[in-house]
Structure formats: C-alpha cells, structure tokens
Structure 1
Amino acid sequence: MTTPGAAVLLVCRANLCRSPMAEAVFRACAPALGLARVASAGVHAAPRGEPMDPRARAALERRRYGVDKKWRSRRVLPEDLAKFDRVLALDSYVLDELRELWPGVPAHRVHLLLDHLPGMEGEDVPDPYYSSAIGFDVALDLIETAVAAFKLNR
C-alpha cells in the first residue's frame, strides 16, 4: 500500500532510455500504486532537454505505453529530493551520484529500483543504450517486474 498523493522520481544517467521507460510504466500503474506524481531525470542529462531514445520509445509503444510526443530529458536537481517521496536509481553508479548530490539522505528515500524485487536487491537495470533493440526489451522487462512489486512503504 502506498501513501495517497505520493511522488516517485526515476533516475538514470542521461534520462534518454531507462528512466523514461520506467516513468512510462509507473505512470500507467500510478492509480493502482496510489501515486499522484511520477517523473524521470538523469544525473548527466544534457542541459537542454533531448527527446527519448527512439529505441526506448519503440519498446514502450510495442507494449502499448503512452508516451508524450513532447517529452524531453532533464537533469536531476538538488531540490528534487524535497519534491519526491522516493527517488529510484536505475543502476548503482547513478545511486552513488545521487548520494553525493544529497549527502546523508536516508536509504529508504533513495535506492535502486530493483531493490523492490526479491532476489534482485542491489542489481542494476542494464543500460541498453549501446545494445540492440533486444536490450531495450530486457530493460523494460525488468522495469515492469519491479513496478509490479513496488511498495512505497517498504
């Protein structure tokens, strides 16, 4: 069970592949999860927003997730911690970057997305950027499974 009105931020490196895919899946499940707000960002996103990687968009569209045509990447900001109940990193490198940005943040507020999957705690969602379309499907499989297991009050 989640807290009504809760907000979740998904973070990867550039906010072009994994975190936008996770954002789309969380958005689709937001009512069932009791989430009022879902967003994504990247620890090294370009200063000017870029469109989602076309392979990520195609993977989402194959599974019938809606994606705003005007969607653009954004960089994670220091003030995001105050705006979101949970910040979920897609890999351990990103998690380390977030902990540097927010020193002393409690572990229950900022952790890995796959920490919600029994047996996958501490694991990364592989970055599909340098892979084929299959890599995007693999990442999306993991994201969907993690979202299905997500509990805000864990």
Structure 2
Amino acid sequence: MVCMGNICRSPTAHGVMQCKLEQAGLHKQIAVDSAGTHAYHVGEPPDARSQHHAVRRGYDLSAQRARQFSAVGFAAFDVVLVMDDANERAVRQLAGPAHNQQVMRLAAFALHHQTQEVPDPYYGGDQGFEYVLDLVEDACDGLLKQLIAYV
C-alpha cells in the first residue's frame, strides 16, 4: 500500500487489509505493508486522526511507522497498490518496464465505490478520514475476494 507520506491512506489500507486477512485466516500466507513515495515522515507513526478514525472501526495502526517506498519493494511484494495518480507516477518511475505490471490502484478493487483514487484526507476534516476508511474497506473487500480465488 503506497501513498505520499505513509501517515494517512497507506497505513489505513495496511491496517484494514491486515485485519481482513486475519479474519479470513490468510494472514500467514499473504503479507501486507505500507510505504510513502516521499520521505516526509519516515519513522513517524500514522497521523493521529487516521489512528483515531481507524480504531473506532476496530483497526489498530499504532505499531506502524512511516517509511519511504523503494525499488526493493518490487522484489518483496507481488503487487504494489497505490492510492492516486501522483503515487502511481512516482512508483512507476521506480518500477521500470520489468515491474510495471505489479503497480495497481487500490481503488480499482472497490466493489461499491466508483472512483479511481483514494483521496488524501490530510488537509480536511473528520469526513475525509471517514470517507477514506469507507473506500479502503470496500477496496480491501474486493481485493480479498480476488485473493481468495488464487489461494
């Protein structure tokens, strides 16, 4: 899961997907992680607002720490899920032709929401963080549905 600073969207998606994998009994077979395209917050925990809204839905993000995505991620993971167009461009620059097929948008897996991006809630209010959770939960459900078909 990749966003810009790895403090709002990608740690939220990481926490939601990890929880869904645990509930499905797949957490030992499928690994999930998160990173940012920029090193703005390396070593910091997720944004307090992201944590607040996540914990209200049963997701604990507190152990996560921001890190920057690097080309090593392509070897470590089969799929790199990005949150928006800017993240996709940054990750594809690192990917090159050999790893381009690994890059996808998380929102593409949404079952009910019709959007191409998970919007950045950083400069908004509570409603933005709740919307991100709604969208991420929906997309993670769609992703899990596809993963179950392959496991």
State the match for 2:123 in structure 1.
Answer: 130
- AA paired with 2:47? D
The Cα of 1:45 is off from its aligned counterpart by 2.8
CA spacing shift, 1:13–1:33, aligned 2, 3 Å: farther
User: C-alpha displacement at 1:77, in angstroms?
Assistant: 1.3
- The DSSP-based 3-state class of the residue aligned with 2:33 is strand
Distance in 2 between residues matched to 1:120 and 1:98, nearest whole Å: 24
TM-score where L is the length of structure 2: 0.85
Query: Are 2:109 and 1:98 aligned?
Result: no
Q: Name the % identity.
A: 35
Change (3 A) 1:140 1:119: closer
Residue type of the alignment partner of 2:96? P
Contact 1:17–1:53 (Cα < 8 Å) also in 2: yes
Work out which of the residue numbers 4, 15, 20 in structure 2 matches 1:29: 20
Residues 26 and 38 in structure 1, CA contact (< 8 A), matched pair in contact too: yes
Structure 2 unaligned segments of length 5 or more: list them.
Answer: none
| Alpha-carbon distance change, 54 to 110 in structure 1, aligned in 2, over 3 angstroms | same
Cα distance change on mapping 1:141 and 1:33 into 2, 3 Å? farther
Unaligned runs of 5+ in 1: 1-9
Moved more, 41-50 or 75-84: 41-50
Tell me, yes or no, if structure 1 residue 66 matches structure 2 residue 60.
Answer: yes
Post-superposition Cα deviations, 1:92-137, rounded to whole Å, max 9, x if no partner, equal 1101110001111243x21100111258677101100000011000
Q: 2:41 and 2:139 mapped to 1: Cα distance?
A: 29
Runs of 4+ in 1 over 4 A off after TM superposition: 118-122
Preserved CA contact (<8 Å) 1:45 1:75:
yes
Q: From 56, 68, 89, give the equivalent of 2:50.
A: 56
Aligned length: 142
**1-structure distance, mates of 2:100, 2:92:** 9
Query: 1:116 is matched with which residue?
Result: 109
1:75 partnered with 2:90: no
Which of the two has greater helix per residue?
2
- CA-atom RMSD in angstroms: 2.0
